[in-house]
Structure formats: structure tokens, C-alpha cells
Amino acid sequence: MTVNRAKLILSALMLSAILLLPGCKKAEESGIMVYYINENGTGLYPVSEDIQSGDADFMARTLLDKLSVIVEDKDYYAPIVGDLSIEDYTIEEGRLTIYFSLAYRDLTPTAEALLRASVVQTMVQIDGIDEVSFYVGADPVTDASGIPIGPQTSDSYIYDYGQAQSQSEKTTLTLYYATEDGNSISEVTRTVHYSISQPLEQVVMQYLAESPGKEGLMSAIPEGTNVLSVVTNDGTCYVTLDSMFLNLPEGESRDVSIYAIVNSLCSLDSVDRVQLIVESVGTAVITDDPVSGTYKRNEEIVQPAAE
């Protein structure tokens, strides 16, 4: 995923906030987590920052500034970079409303979802801010169907913070694999162990790429496909794949490769629909992408279980 890390052109609002700080009496410093984006653009990267304590408006200005400047650490970066900037914000009755520049509309679905997750998780730590609304100019940010996403809270997002944890969990997954004729998918139930730091959506994608270990079935994901990111927000799971996903095995239906993923992910309580995004590899340009789009569970392509 290409990330524009050019120097941020700060809005007048942000600049005025910075200019005022040196002349202020030093306030008490407090540790707070700032949720940056990891270097691969696949998840969040929490960093503890010591910042001056203040009221909700002061804290919002300070944290939005931290999310809007280029950082030197190679492991993570701030989400509001390049041509993207914050034009204004308001705080009313526990809701922070942020107005972004038009460059927001140029973000890929994955980058946009990660930006919102980064901002929300960082800002709701402030006493007096319970939710965040996102606007581009005067228009509310919408989902893939054109419906405004509405106020976001920390419960709106499911993802891996990138923190290594040794604890593991056991769960049962409902996965779908391609049948031998390549025209349908079949259900396989697997009990797996996974790290609690890894979202179940990523676990599902990992097992879908492997052999199901059941005669007459095979992985529906084309060999060599790389899963670039998996992010779930408000019931939509955004899955970004490289263009190797377009290289179907001979005789396999395109719907089989799509709905093996969609039906498997929609079997999770957190997912209602899946948005697939195919990105170019290297300098290659995709001229024919029949995959990218939003999908819901499809029962018609599932092979009935044998009696």
C-alpha cells in the first residue's frame, strides 16, 4: 500500500494552536495512547505520549496535531498526512465533529477505515469526548452504499493494535472451500487456536488460504495471493488483496473465489458484509477488475451437505 508521507500543510486552526503553546504556563503532563498506523498500513500502532493536561478543547487540538505531523519512527506513521488536512472541528455534548479537506475522498477504503479507527481510539480517551463524527467539507462521511456512517465510538472498530501477546484462545470457525468442479463452495467447521492479539477476520483469511484437509475440497484463493489488510468497521469487513487474486485456477468460477471469502467472514458475529479491494502489484496496473465491490452472504453457491 502506497502512503503519501509528504509534509502536512496544517490548517490555520492547527497553526494557531501550536503558536499559543510556548507562551502558556507548563501544565501537568499525562500519558495517553496515540493510535498511529503501522508501517504496512494494515493496523493501528499505539504509542504512549506525554502531553499537557487541559480541557477537552485543548486536548483535542493537541492530539489532532500529533495525528497530523510526520513522525521519524519507521514503525508507524500519522494518518492525516500529505494533502489531507483538518479544516475545523467542534465539540458539543460529548461529540467531536471533525471537518476534513476534500483530499479525504482520495483515500482508499482501507486507508479511510484505518484513519477513522486511529482518530476515534485516540480522541475518545479525552474526558468530555465520547464519540467522533467525520465530515468532508460540509458533507458527512458515508459508507460504501452512500449512507452516512454517523458518530463513531471505540466499539465501532475491530482490529489488531500490533501489540504482541502470548495468550491464545480456542474457537470454532465456519469456513468455505471450493469443490472439485470449481462451481460451488462447501462448508467446513474447524476448531482452531489463535493469539488474542489477532482479529478473527485475519484468522479466517489465514485458514482459507490453506488446504481444508478434506477430500474433494480445495482452497478457493488463487495460489500466491497476498492479503494486504483486513479491517472491520460497523459490520463491514474491508479485505484488501493484491492482483494475484485475479489469477483463477483453470475451471474455477469467479464467484467461488469471492464467496468462499465472503461467506466465511460473514459467519463471524462481527461481519454482515464484505468489501473486497484488489490493489496492483508493483508497477502493474489493473485494467480489468471484476472483483472489487461489496458483497453479502450467498447461500445459492453453497453445495448442500450430503445426507
Starting at the earlier edge strand, list the strands of the sheet with 76-77: 44-52, 29-38, 76-77
Please give the average per-residue pLDDT across 289-294, as a whole number.
81
Q: Is the pLDDT of residue 285 over 90?
A: no
For 80-83, the CB contacts below 8 A with 24+ separation are: 80/8, 80/115, 80/119, 81/3, 81/4, 81/5, 81/6, 81/8, 82/4, 82/5, 82/6, 82/8, 83/4, 83/6, 83/9
Q: Is the pLDDT of residue 224 over 90?
A: no
Under DSSP, the state recorded for 245 is: G
Q: Is the pLDDT of residue 243 over 80?
A: yes
What is the band of 159 on the pLDDT scale with cuts at 50, 70, 90? low
CA separation for the pair 90, 241 (Å, rounded):
37
CA separation for the pair 27, 11 (Å, rounded):
25
- Give the cell for residue 128: 468530555
pLDDT by residue (tens digit) across 248-273?
Answer: 888 788 999 999 999 999 999 999 99
Residue 200 contacts residue 194 (beta carbons within 8 Å): yes
DSSP secondary structure of 104-170: GGGS-HHHHHHHHHHHHHHHTTSTT--EEEEEETTEE-B-TTS-B---B-GGGEE---S-----EEE
Instruction: Say what percent of the chain tops pLDDT 70.
Output: 80
Does this model's pTM top 0.75? My answer is no
Q: Find which of 41-45, 159-163, 258-262, 282-286 is predicted with most confidence, using mean pLDDT.
A: 258-262
Per-residue confidence (pLDDT) for residue 91, from 0 to 100? 96
Q: Is the pLDDT of residue 98 over 50?
A: yes
Under DSSP, the state recorded for 250 is: T
Under DSSP, the state recorded for 302 is: B
Distance of CA 130 to the CA centre of its chain: 21
Q: Is the pLDDT of residue 11 over 60?
A: no
Distance of CA 292 to the CA centre of its chain: 16
Domain boundary assignment for the chain: 12-158, 168-295
Cα angle: 239, vertex 241, 246; to 5 degrees: 125
Cα angle: 301, vertex 302, 305; to 5 degrees: 150
Under DSSP, the state recorded for 196 is: T
Nearest to 277 by CA among 111, 106, 117, 162: 111
